[in-house]
Amino acid sequence: MTTTWFITGTSSGFGRLLTEQLLARGDRVAATLRRPEVLDDLRAEHGDRLWTARLDVTDAERVRRVVDEAFAALGTIDVVVNNAGYGLLASVEEASDEQIRRVVDTNLLGSIHVIRAALPHLRAQGRGRILQVSTAGGQTTYPSLGYYHASKWGIEGFCETIAREIAPFGTTLTIVEPGATPTGFGSSLDTAPPMPAYADTPAGDTRRAFADGAFPVPNSAEKIATAMIDLVDSDATPLRLPLGPDTYADVHTALTDRLAEHEAHREVAHSVAAVTVG
């Protein structure tokens, strides 16, 4: 049975791999990206099963127009994949105002624009799925990626909230959390001029790890794309899907540490209640 997908950020990485795998198995894909000509090879091979549109997700008006056009052209869309993203490697002081705005506009607001534009159509259909591509960095943190984390923690909080809001309309949402993967993300990270003050700090260590190619990337991009497709095929609807041994380990540690710290403050938390219980 043919499934129709709407995917952002399809020029490379997970977006391109998803598009290739889905078309190869006979599905239809509405692929959006800044330069549609990048997918000319796939269009030549797969014809009208590939619909493309130029899109920068930071342009809310354009997002609404492209989403409306995709639903009109394809009739129904079963799965919306929010994949477009922007990475920024810089300590808190090093990043420029423009870089900070771009990471938030792309990863947080851009994803919100796409979801808001798609929801009226999914509601009208009475069914649909949203896959929000996040990262292990949506629940844990690494120095020099603070602004990237701000956007990913933000979109995870938004998605966790709206997953409950949209469930009554037959629409489900899963946050996909890939670990470090050789998709070109590391080499495409935007950077800022380094400040000497941060050279011998954890922020400097992370910067050097990326520069030297020492940051571990233990995952297969192809397998992650396949796992996302398999999730949809399975009809399972988890709120989160961790993908990668690094994601599993790092998020497990972060959640365990957070819970331990939370428990350590139990008495003081209860001490400020207006009425003492027990």
Pairing of strands 50-54, 79-82: unpaired
Catalytic residue among 86, 142, 147, 148: 148
Contact 217, 186 (CB under 8 A): yes
Token digits of residue 156? 């995870």
Residues linked to residue 176 through DSSP beta bridges, in sequence order: 133, 241
Token digits of residue 241? 């899907």
Residue 144's alpha-carbon distances to 86, 186, 203, 228, in angstroms, are 14, 13, 5, 28
Catalytic residue among 91, 142, 152, 198: 152
Give dist(CA 114, CA 99) in Å, integer.
21
Catalytic residue among 91, 111, 134, 151: 134
Active site annotation includes 142: no
Cα 214 from chain centre: 24
Token digits of residue 147? 């602004």
Give dist(CA 103, CA 87) in Å, integer.
7
Residue entry with tokens 């791999």: 17
Active site annotation includes 134: yes
Active site annotation includes 198: no
Read off the amino acid at residue 209: A
Residue 120 makes CB contacts below 8 A (sequence gap 6+) with none
Give dist(CA 9, CA 124) in Å, integer.
25
Read off the amino acid at residue 243: L
**Would you please indicate which residues are annotated as catalytic (active-site) residues?**
134, 148, 152
